[in-house]
Each structure stands twice: as structure tokens, then as C-alpha cells.
Structure 1
Amino acid sequence: MEQRRLGNRSVGAIGFGAMSFGGMFGPTDEATSLTCLDAALDAGITHLDTANIYGMGVSEQVIGRWGQRDVHLATKCGIVSGPPRTVRNDEPFIRQCLEESLRRLKRDHVDLYYIHRRQPDMPVEDVAGTMAKLVQEGKIGGYGLSEVAPSTLRRAHAEHPVTAVQNEFSLWTRQPQLGLIQACRDLGVAFVAFSPLGRGMFGRQPLKRDFRAGIDFRDTNPRFTEPNFSANLAAIAPFRELCAARGWTVPGAALAWVLAQGDHIIPIPGTRTADHLRDWQVADLGPADIADIEQILPAGFASGARYSDQQMAFVERYC
């Protein structure tokens, strides 16, 4: 697999997002998740991304039991489960969460530690200062920020260099192209693209609307509720036809498009099963292919917002 820089290490250009190991998108079990992790490593994936709230620690526990040390591992803290859901970025809370995550991961340090959401009333310089202490103590290799604005990145980076910024980015979510991807490039910060396959919309087969109410957050997400859901399926159908005609898998073409947007971008698709990993074979796209894709799926084609108002809580808006 192609390699890209993440901090002071090279990792596979495609990483792995382990949110689904916590049952966030459907039933799963530990044995299936462990098999999936083995398959990911065999495929050349060397960067794993999880968080303390994925299944309330379940995703971290699975990775800890897997026990593979020859991977670059990221986890996150900052979100306090509700109700009401809130955010904390103070040093005691960050340290407490990190120790809990390390116990579940069965590690004495983590390579990359993200602030999952920024606490609006706390200066980001203070947060960066806390993360700098953890780096100096050897608890973390570097730190990252998630769902932040370019201005926040610059302020934090001036206090202590940021390793990575993680925001949603895909063919149907392109806001980071309005400043954040460019800011990361200019500062030498990796941009980690989560949900690069549109939470299943760019999967092997068209999605069916059978989400588990109260568990799968897509059930109330604007893009997955009607009439938006049907409109989005219809909009993506010609892209599926293009992929079939050119011998690409739909996920492979969608990932290739994301990778083509900058050599500092690392997408982290996720899955519950090893079977889906075969679809991630990155398509070989030339400039004409990218132009064809963007003609079919122009920026802003999606129907519905990427998050509901409730889901947008603590996500920084800058456009």
C-alpha cells in the first residue's frame, strides 16, 4: 500500500476507523472484529482510529485484546455522554480519560491522541498546553483535533505543533476544502478524513433504509431520512454505473477521489467485517476520471445536511 506521513511515522495511505466495533451501525461481536483487524493488517493498513465513546469503551477493548503492537494507534477524548451530551477539555478530565483508554487498549502510551470536540469556552491554547505535557511525559506521541475550524488549528499549532486534524470528508461532504485541508497542508499537519465512504452510501451495494432506531444515528440524520435518502440514492446511482463500466469498486473509486485531494490526506473508512475490506482496493484514477466523477457528483450535490442540529453540537462552523 502507498505510504503517507502521520506525524513522524509513515503509515498506509488508508487507515481504519473502528467506530463500528462499538455497535454504532449494527450488531457485531468480538470474534468478528478481531478477524476484521487481522484482515486490515494483512491489507497493509497500519493506522487504527478509535475513541473512548465508541460503544462506551468497547472498541478500545477489542483493539486491546487484539494486542497487535506494530500499528499506529489513535484514540480520542472530550465528549461526555449524556443526556445531555457535553464536552470537557480540562486537564484533569483529559488525563483521566487517557488513563482509562490506555487500560482498555493495554498500552502504556498511544501514538496519537485527539480532542474529539473542542470545549467552546476554553482557550484552545490551554488544551494544546495539556497535550504538550502528555507528549513530554511519553504518554502520547502527538495530538490531534477533530471537527475544528482552520483558525482553531492555527492557534493550537502555534502553542504546540498539531500532528493531525480529523474531519468528515468525502465526495458528498466537502466543507474541509474551504480552508481546513489547505491549512493542514500549509502547517505540515496530516488531514485524517473520517466517513470517506459516506457512512455506507458509497458501499458495495446501495443502502437500504433499515437503520436501528435509537442506536444507529443515521436513523435521524438528515441525509438518511426521506425524502433526502431517496434523492441521494438517485444522485449516486450514475456514479455506481461509472464504476461498473470502468471496473472499479464503488468504495475503491470513492477512496481514490479522497486520496487525490492532497498527499497529506489519510482516509479512515470503517467496517464491521473483513469481507468489506476487499472493496477498498483503490481505483487508479487519472485526471479525466476525476473530472468525470466530479461532473456526476459535483460539490454540494447531497440532499440534506450532514448532521442534524443536535448532532452539530460542538462542531466548529467556519463557512
Structure 2
Amino acid sequence: MSRPTRKIAGAEVSAMGVGAMSFAEFYGPTTEENSWAVLDAAMELGVTHIDTSNVYGMGRSEEAIGAYLRRNGAAREVFHIATKAGISKDAAGNRCFDNSPEHLEAELDRSLSRMGIEAVDLFYVHRREEARPIEEVTATLVALRDKGKIKGFGFSEIAPASLRRAAAVAPVAAVQSEYSLATRAPELGLVQECARQGTALVAFSPLGRAFLTDRPIEAERVPTLAWMKSNPRFLSPNYEANIAATDRFRALAADMGEPAAALAVAWLLAQGSQILPIPGTRSVAHFRECVRGTELALSTEDLARIEEALPVGWAHGDRYSVGQYVGPERYC
């Protein structure tokens, strides 16, 4: 069946993409073969947008994608591939951000080599380097496009004001931001600015890091996951409160006869034609649940029932810890 689409810099892509952070064991152990199975399912189901980064598993996600492309000759023509750069380490080994032309191009070249492709369809600055004007960084991205190494560019986790500044230099294809029923800050300016600029809003963690699914991460697994174990929403008593809150959403999805993940994806797609969710998963069955969300046409009544189950502001705990908030731009 044909699926709804979104536009990124003129390219027509599936309205839902694949978040490939899961290919690098962010949410638990996986194998390259398991990642290929998800990509096989994407090919079968018409999901064409693939999102990765140079830092996902320090290249492991890109390597899995590259191996898949080499094994499947037709895949490169099907997939619209996005990757990112800009996160680095200083001389002491501490995390920092580098948006210099030299760093971005060198990292892009490594990404292209890992994936075995000549150009990437979409290239993001993963995190802004605060001291470097975004206008200067945008000019760097335009130069990379002019060299033929990227077809479009964007930024991850920037504020609406920064998008306006960048777009004044050149059109910005996409902005990536966390957006879901659990994280609705983008509605305070970013959703609107992306619509004004003709910029795709690529929504990562659209399932609220599994809270908005039928199988949320179990409490006993949280301490084994490096990122989750320090995230406020997964710490007690917030974790228990968030499970209780999302039980209402799971009950609603069951009453509607749909997987909770499908309902979460469908809700996001209903928020604007510029919005493109990219759920990540290690499970083909779960991936199919997410794709089901692209097939749902939610009525006004459906949307009201979802809002009643999870009214804006329901989540307990901030979306990031203090350390996790280093890099993303806050604007509200």
C-alpha cells in the first residue's frame, strides 16, 4: 500500500523513518543481522528515511547501514539517508562540540566511507558549538552541498530563533528535536517555525523512550542502560508515576484496537504535515507496530481522547538530566 509522505529539501520520503541509534545498542544488545532485519522490514513496508549519526556506537550504526547497502544493491535508491556530526572530545577527553568546517567535513568523509556512499541525503549538525555563529556554520553546510557531499542539511536540538538565523543564510531542510506526547516543548515555537520556514521537523524519541508503547522498559532494566539510569523520568518515584500515567494511554489504545506505539506515531503525524517521527527499535514486530501508525487517520474525537488520557504536562521529571542538557538549546 502507498504510505503518507513528507518532504525534506524537495525529496519525498516516508512520513515515518527509522531511528538507527538502536543499531548501536543504545537500548540494549543487538547484532548487525538484527539491524538488517529492521531495514528489510523498512524496504518491505515502504519506509524510506533512515536516520543515523557518526557517534552512534562510534560509527557502528553507520557501519551496519553500509554493510546492508553493500548486500542489497537496490537499497541505496530506496533509502533517504541522514547522518550527523559535530559532537567531539577535547584534549582531555571531555565531550565538546566542534562545528568548524574542518571537523564537519572530516567526520562527514568518515561517515560516507563507513556507509560506502558518495553523498548523504541529509547532514545535520548534531549539536551547536555555542561560540560559533550559526550563520557561519550554515555557510559551511552550503559549501558541503556545493561539493556534492550532501544533498540537504539541518540542525539537531536548536531553538526557533536559531532556525530563523540559519534560514536567513540558506533554506534549512530539517530540524531534529525530541517531540512526542511525553515531550511537547516544540509546540512552543519550533513546530510553528518549521512550518513557516518549510523545514521538516524530524521527531526523535516519538514513543517517549518506550513509555508510549505496550512494553515500556522494565524497572529492573533501567540500571543496566547507561543513559536511562541517570535520566529523571526513569528514576524513582518518577518512573513509577510515568508508568501509571501511560497505563491510561495503553488502555485507550487497546480500546481502539491498536498498538500503543501506532497511536503515538499517528498522534505526531496529526500535528502537522512537516512532522516526521523516527522511532528506533531492535524488534521487527515493534517496527511493524510503529508503521501501523502511518495508516491511522485519527478523528477529532480520537485526538481529544488521547489528550484526555495524556494531557500536556503529564510527564513526571524533566526529559534530560543536567548533564544530558549540555548542547541542546532551550527556548522556553
TM-score (norm 2): 0.94
Residue type matched to 1:76 in 2? Answer: K
Q: Which residue of 2 aligns with 1:193?
A: 203
- Distance in 2 between residues matched to 1:270 and 1:40, nearest whole Å: 12
CA 1:233–1:213: 2 relative to 1, 3 Å: closer
Pair 1:288 & 2:301 matched = yes
Post-superposition CA distance 1:101-131 (Å, at most 9, x none): 0000100100000000000000000100000
Alignment pair present for 1:306 and 2:319 = yes
Deviation at 1:81, TM superposition (A): 4.6
Provide the residue aligned with 2:184 in structure 1.
174
Does 2:99 correspond to 1:89? yes
1:199 is paired with a residue whose SS is coil
1:297 and 2:310 are equivalent in the alignment: yes
From 122, 131, 152, the counterpart of 2:162: 152
Please give the alpha-carbon distance, in whole angstroms, between the structure 2 residues aligned to 1:252 and 1:65.
Answer: 29
How many Å apart are 1:85 and its aligned residue? 1.2
2:26 alignment partner in structure 1: 24
Question: Partner residue of 2:17?
Answer: 15
Q: Which residue is equivalent to 1:257?
A: 267
Structure 1 counterpart of 2:310, one-letter code: L
Match of 1:112 among 117, 122, 129: 122
In structure 2, C-alpha distance between the alignment counterparts of 1:276 and 1:57, rounded to whole Å = 24
1:51 aligns with 2:53: yes
**Local SS of the residue matching 1:4:** strand
Specify the alignment match of 2:131 in structure 1.
Answer: 121
Q: Quote the Cα distance in structure 2 between the aligned partners of 1:198 and 1:41.
A: 25
User: Partners in 2 of 1:142 and 1:245 — Cα distance?
Assistant: 42
Alignment partner for residue 219 of structure 2, among 175, 188, 209? 209
Matched with 2:257 is 247
1:292: how far off?
A: 1.0
Distance 2:83 2:169 in 1: 21
Note the alpha carbon deviations across 1:16-44, whole angstroms, 9 max, x for none.
10001011110001111111111112111
Aligned-partner Cα distance in 1 for 2:88–2:194: 27
Cα deviation 1:166-214 (Å, max 9, x = unaligned): 0000001000000011000001111100000011111232331233647
| 1:277 Cα deviation after fit | 1.4
Quick check: 2:212–2:249 contact (8 Å CA) kept in 1?
no
SS where residue 229 of structure 1 aligns? helix
Q: What are structure 2's unaligned runs of at least 5 residues?
A: 70-74
Deviations 1:104-159 (A, max 9, x none): 01001000000000000000001000000011111100101000000100101111
Instruction: Please report how far the alpha carbon of residue 4 of structure 1 lies from its aligned counterpart in structure 2 after TM superposition.
Output: 1.3
**SS of 2:168 mapped into structure 1:** helix
Paired residue secondary structure (1:290)? helix
Q: 1:100 aligns with which of 97, 104, 110?
A: 110
Tell me which moved more, 128-137 or 202-211. 202-211
Which runs of 5 or more residues in structure 1 are unaligned?
Answer: none
The aligned length equals 319
Aligned twin of 1:72 = 80
2:65 to 44, 58, 63: 63
Q: Distance in 2 between matches of 1:138 and 1:206?
A: 42
Map of 1:230 onto structure 2: 240
Q: Report the Cα offset of residue 215 of structure 1.
A: 4.6
2:18 equivalent to 1:5: no
Give how far 1:99 is off.
Answer: 0.4
Are residue 163 (structure 1) and residue 165 (structure 2) matched?
A: no
Does the 8 Å contact 1:3/1:11 carry over to 2? yes
Deviations 1:226-248 (A, max 9, x none): 10000000011111111111111
For the Cα contact (< 8 Å) 1:204–1:279, is it kept in 2? Answer: no
Verify the 8 A CA contact 2:54 2:62 in the aligned structure 1: yes
TM value normalised by structure 1: 0.98
Aligned residues of 2:213 and 2:250 also touching (Cα < 8 A): no
Counting aligned pairs with the same residue, the percent is: 46
In structure 2, what is the equivalent of residue 37 of structure 1? Answer: 39
